Amino acid sequence: MYSSRRKGDIGEQAAFDYLINSGYIILDRNFRTKYGEIDIIGKDNGYIAFVEVKSRHDFKMGFPCEAVNKSKQQRIARMALLYIMKKKLYNYDFRFDVVEIVMKDDEVKYLRLIKDAFQMDTMI
């Protein structure tokens, strides 16, 4: 078994590699604000994608994406707005993606990208 931080690092690197191989242009990693952190920010087919990476050891507690609850979505949305303002990305469409990962030891066994996983609408 390994630490949560190590699991997160391995998961984020696997997600990063997957996104690059899927054609994303990575703009930022680990963007931090007073509200928290956005794991990966990238461009994909004209969208700015704010990507949350969720890693697990198994499916006992459900799919990893289920941990991105309303509260977490609100925090990500606030951070995304700050990023958009800071970088002056007003002319882009944006969306929220989730990469879920399940691994055994240091090996990724399952990885799924969920594009447009949730909407911001009025949740901030």
With contact defined as beta carbons under 8 Å apart, do 63 and 54 qualify?
no
Over residues 10-59, the pLDDT tens digits come to 889 999 999 999 999 999 999 998 888 999 999 999 999 999 999 888 88
* Count of the separate structural domains present in the chain: 1
With contact defined as beta carbons under 8 Å apart, do 79 and 38 qualify?
yes
| Cα–Cα distance, 109 to 27 (Å, whole number) | 27
Indicate whether 118 belongs to any domain. Answer: no
Residue 2 has a pLDDT of 54
Indicate whether 122 belongs to any domain. Answer: no
- Identify the domain containing residue 89 by its residue range: 4-104
Over residues 93-105, the pLDDT tens digits come to 999 999 999 988 8
Classify residue 66 by its DSSP letter: G
Average pLDDT over residues 81-101: 95
Indicate whether 113 belongs to any domain. Answer: no
**The domain spanning residue 66 has which CATH number?**
3.40.1350.10
With contact defined as beta carbons under 8 Å apart, do 74 and 124 qualify?
yes
Residue 44 has a pLDDT of 97
Q: Pick the closest to residue 34 from 81, 90, 88 (CA basis).
A: 81
Element (DSSP H or E) covering residue 27: strand 25-33
Please indicate, yes or no, whether the overall pTM of this predicted structure exceeds 0.85. yes
Classify residue 58 by its DSSP letter: -
Indicate whether 79 belongs to any domain. Answer: yes
**pLDDT-derived band of residue 8, with 50, 70 and 90 as boundaries?**
confident
